[in-house]
Amino acid sequence: MHSWNQPILDALARRVERLPHALLLYGPEGIGKLALAERAAQLLLCEGEKTPCDSCDACRWFLAGNHPDFRRLEPEALAKQPPPDAEDEGPARRAKQPSIEIRIEQVRALADFLYVGSHRGGRRVTLVHPAEHMNAPTANALLKGLEEPPAGAIFILVSHRPAQLLPTIRSRCVAVPVPIPPRDAALEWLSSQGVKDPQRWLAYAGGAPLRALDHAARGPATLAAVDEREALEPLAEALQKLALDHALAAFGLLAKYQTTSAAVPARKAREWLAFARQMGQDRLLCRHPLNPRLFSAAMLAGMPTEG
């Protein structure tokens, strides 16, 4: 877990025996919420001094990824390991691209876990990440567990965009905001990871150090049509940030994401702002089954001219 989130974990540890049955950790992507959620889950399962201790049997099992009272719901595309039934499915199923949504079958599979007693006689913890990747049927299936949680069951939801969650999901959780870390701490961490020009990448990532690390590893975005669905959202993000920086420059302000240092005529401000809004909408569509080449070409075609 990253040091800048330690105060949040400490606050949870102080009331570990009185925590609600559902927590919603939310904040911008790339600030370490998942690592914080994992540490919080370990804290809840720890059988030592509740720090978590890292030395009891429960902590060792958790760190090894095989604690019997912990479940993790996330899209197959993000999973560290394939679904447990993947080996039993036919070649056609395995050949499909991993799902980018949390599937309803994953939630239904929790029933035996939630409603059967704990293996260790303590809590059962379910981590959902990112929670906004549930579609409506999946979210409604999870809602049943949130509304009538069995004794000892705790849910930890992690969300980059909590506004996209069903209001009924949000209302059943105690929200825990996770802020962007202090700039100095983020820059120090990026430097320790070997990132060159950390100021530039941290600015481009909007202050989120993990995203800055990812952007630095991938290098500057190429503003060109793409053929892979996975490349659509990064392209839309790059175009949106470029548009916002151009709009700020048109107003005589400093570029937030440091994508440009060029002078922009004041008359172009509205045009660039409109394009930025459009890219924000397009980012939400990038996960749909679109033709990547055509969709990316359409995004690029809508970009205002420089002059």
pLDDT at position 124 over 50: yes
- Which tens digit of pLDDT belongs to each residue from 288-306? 778 999 999 999 999 998 7
**Quick check: is 38 in a domain?**
yes
Are residues 130 and 206 part of one domain? no
CA–CA separation, 11 and 23 (whole Å): 13
**How many independent structural domains does the chain possess?**
2
| More confident site: 131 or 111 | 131
**Quick check: is 166 in a domain?**
yes
pLDDT at position 51 over 90: no
- Which tens digit of pLDDT belongs to each residue from 233-288? 899 999 999 999 999 999 999 989 989 888 899 999 999 999 999 999 998 888 77
**Quick check: is 107 in a domain?**
yes
**Quick check: is 307 in a domain?**
no
Residue 73: partners with Cβ closer than 8 Å, 6 or more residues away: 102, 106, 107, 110, 126, 127, 128, 129, 142
Question: For the chain, what is the mean pLDDT?
Answer: 88
Mean pLDDT across 218-237: 88
Mean pLDDT across 199-211: 94
Residues 293, 298, 280, 251: is their CA dihedral positive or negative?
positive
pLDDT at position 86 over 60: no
Q: What is the DSSP letter of 206?
A: T
Are residues 101 and 198 part of one domain? no
Are residues 169 and 62 part of one domain? yes
Q: Looking up tokens 């849910």, which residue turns up?
A: 155
Q: Which of 177, 211, 246 is the last residue of a domain?
A: 177
Are residues 149 and 27 part of one domain? yes
Are residues 211 and 102 part of one domain? no
Are residues 209 and 141 part of one domain? no
Q: Which of 155, 177, 199 is the last residue of a domain?
A: 177
**Quick check: is 158 in a domain?**
yes
**Quick check: is 293 in a domain?**
yes
Question: What pLDDT was estimated at residue 93?
Answer: 45
Q: Which of 150, 177, 204 is the last residue of a domain?
A: 177
CA–CA separation, 158 and 294 (whole Å): 33
**Quick check: is 284 in a domain?**
yes
pLDDT at position 50 over 80: no
**Domain with 225 in it:** 183-301
What CATH number does residue 86 fall under? 3.40.50.300
pTM confidence score? 0.85
Counting residues of the chain whose pLDDT is more than 90, the rounded percentage is 66
**Quick check: is 306 in a domain?**
no
Counting residues of the chain whose pLDDT is more than 70, the rounded percentage is 93
Are residues 263 and 135 part of one domain? no
Count of H-run helices and E-run strands, the chain: 14, 5
Are residues 267 and 124 part of one domain? no
Are residues 164 and 22 part of one domain? yes
Question: What pLDDT was estimated at residue 113?
Answer: 86
- Which tens digit of pLDDT belongs to each residue from 29-45? 999 999 999 999 999 99
Are residues 253 and 151 part of one domain? no
Are residues 11 and 109 part of one domain? yes
